[in-house]
Amino acid sequence: MKKLTLLGQISPDEFLRTYWQKKPLLVRQAIPGFKPVLTREELFELAGRDDVESRLVTRLPRKWQLQDGPNRDLPPPSKKKWSLLVQGVNLHNAAADALLRQFRFIPDTRLDDLMISYASDEGGVGPHFDSYDVFLLQAQGTRRWRIGAQTDLSLEEGAPLKLLRNFAPEQEFDLEPGDMLYLPPHYAHDGVALGECMTYSIGFRAPSYQELAEVLLQAMADTVEIDGRYSDPELAPAKRPAEIDTAMLSKIEQELARIRITPEDILLFLGEHLSSPKPATYFIPPVRPLPLERFVAKACKTGVILSPKTRMLYRRNKLFINGESFLLSPDDRGMLITLANERELNPDQISNRPSDGLDALHQWYQHGWLTLR
Ligand code: SIN
Ligand code: CO
């Protein structure tokens, strides 16, 4: 895989300081000599699968048409003005996963997926804005991007996709294979294919605080423990029996104020939430899994590698993998955080001394979360 040279010309430090979440950046030949990681036919095949999210967007003379996947009946490439967008290609293709991982100067908590779009001549999805940062890497053919910093983000009504009502582009670039355009959230853009083309979107995630609050409160509901029951040995005869009296209200206020959300609670819920697999992900367990001892013997010879679908994060002594949390013991910490950061372990990084860490690796192998190399 050709390496990203964005960092050769601009350091990650400078990129983050000057452009990230702030302003667009066009990088000519970000990946010189870039070759697509899969063919048009392989992309079309993915779009037909039930476990792959895709959209077919067609521009008709007076309206736009949107067809959610699975998309099995695609127009012929010779037909103009249609585009197929396939989400999460990195989950199903190792080369796409390797490409996405070149962007790990942005942490895994923010990196989301690689979307690939195919467009026939004049195809595109219309002028719009996204809520997330994106790197648009041209993979094949030429796409003309027009972009603008407008603050009027009002949308056309009644369209099946988000289209800007008043698109006012300020800059125009024709991107050739290997060129890349970074756009911060809410930056207006429209990309139109000049002939057939494929574009890769390296997408990011940023949870809304509302979503986080809802997940946190659900997690708290499952774990909260608060003893006692309301009692009122001093109850006086009720004059207005339907009224909630002050004594009851203040006592319950006082008792419920014992619920505390600690930094530990927040770390646990956040780690589990951010490491949860993307929706509709399913893992493929090994058909005949090796028992623990044989698994360890083999892992010590070949190493192990995480499934591209696995999300693994950690902080201090807490490890999060695919929505579950584990306490790291000092013995296993080195090995497991190497696995999280490198997404693989070489044989010499695996100790064959029995440990909880090896049991965990074996369990994850049985779930299909990692495989022997
Ligand atoms: C596309 O690749 O056609 C759309 C990508 C985008 O505008 O975000
Ligand atoms: Co967009």
Residue-range domain boundaries for the chain: 5-204, 292-372
Report the pLDDT averaged over residues 20-35. Answer: 95
Q: Is the pLDDT reported for residue 366 higher than 80? A: yes
What is this structure's pTM?
0.93
Nearest CA to ligand 1 atom 5: 201
Token code pair at residue 78: 């010779």
Q: Can you tell me the distance from the alpha carbon of 336 to that of 363, in angstroms, rounded to the nearest whole number?
A: 13
The predicted-structure confidence for 28-51, as pLDDT tens digits, reads as follows 999 999 999 999 999 999 999 999
Report d(CA 161, CA 228) in Å as an integer. 53
Residues with CB under 6 A from ligand 1: 83, 117, 124-125, 130, 134, 189, 191, 199, 201
Atom of ligand 1 nearest to the CA of 125: 3
Q: CATH topology for 292-372? A: Malonyl-Coenzyme A Acyl Carrier Protein; domain 2 (3.40.366)
Q: Give me the percent of the chain exceeding a pLDDT of 90.
A: 95
Q: What is the rounded end-to-end Cα distance, in angstroms, of the chain?
A: 19
Q: How much is the pLDDT for 7?
A: 65
CATH of domain 5-204: 2.60.120.650
Residue bearing the CA closest to ligand 1, atom 1: 117
Dist. CA 368–CA 309, nearest whole Å: 9
Nearest to 69 by CA among 43, 94, 108: 43
Q: What is the pLDDT averaged over residues 108-115?
A: 98
Name the pLDDT band for 351 (thresholds 50, 70, 90): confident
252-309 pLDDT tens trace: 999 999 999 999 999 999 999 999 999 889 999 999 999 999 999 999 999 999 999 9
- Look at residue 240 and tell me whether its pLDDT is greater than 90: yes
Ligand 1 atom closest to Cα of residue 117: 2
Average pLDDT, the chain: 96
- Atom of ligand 1 minimally distant from the CA of 130: 8
Are 29 and 3 in contact by the 8 Å Cβ rule? The answer is no
Does the pLDDT at position 182 exceed 80? yes
Give the pLDDT score at 280.
85
pLDDT number for residue 57: 98
What pLDDT is attached to residue 2? 65
pLDDT beyond 70 at 144: yes
- Note the pLDDT of residue 66: 98
